[in-house]
């Protein structure tokens, strides 16, 4: 089994990140790389994980959000 690292490590088994990543890449492309899009997608992913009981560690500070 693959072990994930990073602030969302407890979430990957509960919420699959694939759709979030795909949508984020599409949105970043359409917005000409606007960082605000990345932060919004990460915020949505974090909230979704927390609502489903996963512990999400600090992701804002390391990314400078």
Q: What is the pLDDT of residues 1-15, one digit of tens each?
A: 566 688 888 888 888
pTM reported for the whole predicted model? 0.75
| d(C-alpha 29, C-alpha 51), whole Å | 28
pLDDT at 24: 81
**Number of other CB atoms surrounding residue 5 within 10 Å:** 6
CA torsion, ordered 35, 41, 43, 46, to nearest 10 deg: -140
Segment 24-33 mean pLDDT: 80
Q: At what angle do helices 18-30 and 35-51 cross, to 10 degrees?
A: 160
CA 23, 27, 28, 30 torsion-angle sign: positive
């Amino acid at each position: 089994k693959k072990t994930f690292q990073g602030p969302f490590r407890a979430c990957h088994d509960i919420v699959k990140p694939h759709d979030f990543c795909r949508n984020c890449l599409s949105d970043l492309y359409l917005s000409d790389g606007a960082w605000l899009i990345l932060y919004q997608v990460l915020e949505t992913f974090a909230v979704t994980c927390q609502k489903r009981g996963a512990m999400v560690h600090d992701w804002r500070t390391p990314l400078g959000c």
